[in-house]
Amino acid sequence: MLRHSGGHRAPRRDPRRLRLLTLVSVVAAVVALPLTVASAGQTGDAGRASAPVASRGDAGPRPGTAHGSPRALGLGLATAARCGPELTSPDGIEAQTCVLTQGEDTWARTYYRNATGESLESVLSLMGPGGRSVQMRCVTGADDEPATCETPRERSRGGPGGYTAVTEFAERGADGALLLRSGSNS
Average pLDDT over residues 9-36: 55
Please tell me which of 17-26, 51-60, 67-76 the model is most confident about, judged by mean pLDDT.
17-26
Would you give the distance in Å from CA 46 to the centre of its chain? Answer: 8
CB 152 within 8 A of CB 59: yes
| pLDDT above 80 for 68 | no
Average pLDDT over residues 3-7: 51
Distance CA 24, CA 17 (A): 11
pLDDT in tens, 150-162: 999 999 988 878 9
Q: Which residue has the higher pLDDT, 166 or 23?
A: 166
| pLDDT above 60 for 3 | no
| pLDDT above 60 for 28 | no
CB atoms closer than 10 angstroms to residue 87: 16
121 φ, ψ to 5°? -85, 140
Residue type, 167: T
Q: Read off the pTM.
A: 0.60
3-state secondary structure of 117: coil
First to last CA, the chain: 76
Q: Which pLDDT score, from 0 to 100, does residue 69 have?
A: 39
Distance CA 134, CA 156 (A): 13
For residue 147, give the nearest of 172, 126, 122, 170 by alpha carbon.
122
For residue 180, give the nearest of 75, 76, 93, 50 by alpha carbon.
93
Average pLDDT over residues 32-40: 38
pLDDT in tens, 99-152: 999 999 999 999 999 999 999 999 999 999 988 999 999 989 888 899 999 999
181 φ, ψ to 5°? -125, 125
Q: Which pLDDT score, from 0 to 100, does residue 168 have?
A: 96
Distance CA 139, CA 120 (A): 8
Mean pLDDT, the chain, rounded, equals: 74
User: How far is residue 37 from each of residues 33, 67, 73, 147, 166, measured CA to CA in Å?
Assistant: 6, 17, 12, 22, 31
